[in-house]
Amino acid sequence: MARRGRAGRVVVALTLTLVLAAGGYVAADAYDVAPGVLTLDPVAEPPEPFPTAPGAVPAPDPTTTLDQLDPAAPVPGAAQVQALADALVADPRMGGSTGVVVADVLTGQVLADADGERPRVPASTAKLLTALAAMTALGPERTLPTTVVQPEPGRIVLVGGGDMMLSAGTGAPGEANGHAGLVDLAAQTARALKLVGTTEVVLGVDDTLFSGPSVNPGWKPGDVNAGYVAAVAPLGINVAKTREAPYPPRFADPALQTAQTFATVLAEQGITVTGAVGRASGAGALEIGRVESAPLREVVRYALHQSDNTITEVLGRLVAVEHGLPGSFEGATTAVLAEAASAGIGTTGAVLADCSGLATGSALPASLLADLLLLATDAAHTELLPVVLDLPIAGWQGTLAERFETGPAQGLVRAKTGSLPNVTSLAGTVQTQDGRLLVFAVIAEATPVGGQITPRATIDGFVQQLAACGCAVP
């Protein structure tokens, strides 16, 4: 192929030489063999004008919406729904203390109340209260900073702002867990230090955003040792997991472990940390690096889908700090209940020992959870829609991925689960076959010995009946 190309060029060159030698340069120009202004080709049409793009305008802010509910969809008869609730309470598979409330979303009408006013152990359905408080106090777009500050030359401090889902590597923008990365923070920090000729530093960590004990005295030691929850801190890597597993052991001191990892990452960026990493204050110091968590809505969604006790406790403490209260267990539970009351939810009889529902001592009425869900589905409070929309969907997501996989409720239930020894709860929304959206809350706090399988299946059966209910009043 290469030889044929060279021969072709020789032929062209010889032809051009003959034409020029005959004095035919003008002709050569006209025939476009030689360079020049003459040509025999037809005159080309003038080109079309270059298209101009329309003026750029800012896109509107995204809004959270629900499909319009059909007000003409038949409302299930209260007598029929009450009969279903009474049967659930009386079912021996539920034990001796169950509360049930069912209400219609569009009207707020209570269709069933079976001992729903009595406070009971909520287990993880208590996370609904914390989620609502985070939305009202902090807002869905708030992010949590992790910063590096320099109090003086040669000394830096890693400051926690509430993100216990840092990545030890680079950040993953599409994820809630791992959204912000220590490698990114270290790169910023190293760049700032090297600009002033610093390559050795002393590193401290400031975790004073939160206060009080990091482990709730109401948590059973076995639950802590099993990895169901971590010590609560204002910064941590991958929720303080020691390895990747649903419930692995957790680092005892998430903030210090994060700072030690950061020292290693800094070394990879050419900055040597001298001495041991310890605690230090970063108040008022010059900021030289910052990464931000995912927006709070994504953090709340993660906590609800995974039923993550640790992240829920972090959210509660952030609500407390927002209110000017101590970022402690007591401050958090006080702030969360105050937010619920401010939103118009009756909190009489409600007690929170922690924000996740794991500690002994919490008690909530099923009616409170139903009222919360009604408020979050109210068109007048669209800012609260994430509390409902981001719940796991039956047969698909999170803690409901393996529930309601068949039957009329499949894909039509959004709910928060709750499980403790002898406690089973479920609260959320269900759409009936007639197209009516209902909220429901079930709390059973004295289920028989034998585990979660039987009471959970019994509650699921009740919700399936609600979904299948063609029991509208004529």
Give CB contacts under 8 A, 24+ apart, made by 209-212: 209/160, 209/161, 209/162, 209/234, 209/317, 209/321, 209/327, 210/234, 210/317, 210/321, 210/327, 210/328, 211/326, 211/327, 211/328, 211/331, 212/326, 212/327, 212/328, 212/329, 212/330, 212/331
Residue 139 phi/psi, 5-degree rounding, is 90, 150
Reply yes or no on whether 124 is catalytic. yes
The DSSP secondary-structure symbol of 76 reads B
User: Can you say whether the dihedral through the CA atoms of 462, 400, 218, 139 is positive or negative?
Assistant: negative
Element (H, E) at 114: strand 110-114
- Is 127 labeled as catalytic in the residue annotation? yes
- Of 142, 169, 175, 251, the closest CA to residue 207 belongs to 251
97 is catalytic: no
Of 127, 167, 211, 362, which one is the catalytic site residue?
127
Q: Residue 206 carries which DSSP code?
A: E
At a CB cut-off of 8 Å and minimum separation 6, what does 31 contact? 40
Q: Which of 50, 27, 70, 66 is nearest to 432 (CA)?
A: 70
Could you tell me the end-to-end alpha-carbon distance of the chain, in angstroms, rounded to an integer?
Answer: 87
Which among 124, 356, 419, 425 is annotated as catalytic? 124
Tally of CB atoms within 10 A around 317: 29
Distance CA 220, CA 467 (A): 37
Catalytic residue among 167, 214, 293, 307: 307
Residue type, 434: D
Query: Reduced to 3 states, what is the DSSP secondary structure of residue 270?
Result: coil
What sign results for the dihedral spanned by CA atoms 74, 75, 80, 85? positive
Q: Which of 405, 385, 386 is nearest to 395 (CA)?
A: 405
**CB under 8 Å to 297, separation ≥6 — which residues?**
135, 140, 141, 386, 390
Dihedral sign for Cα atoms in the order 458, 463, 465, 471? positive
Strands 278-279 and 413-420: unpaired
Phi and psi at 367, nearest 5°, equal -65, -35
Give catalytic residues, as residue numbers.
Answer: 124, 127, 307
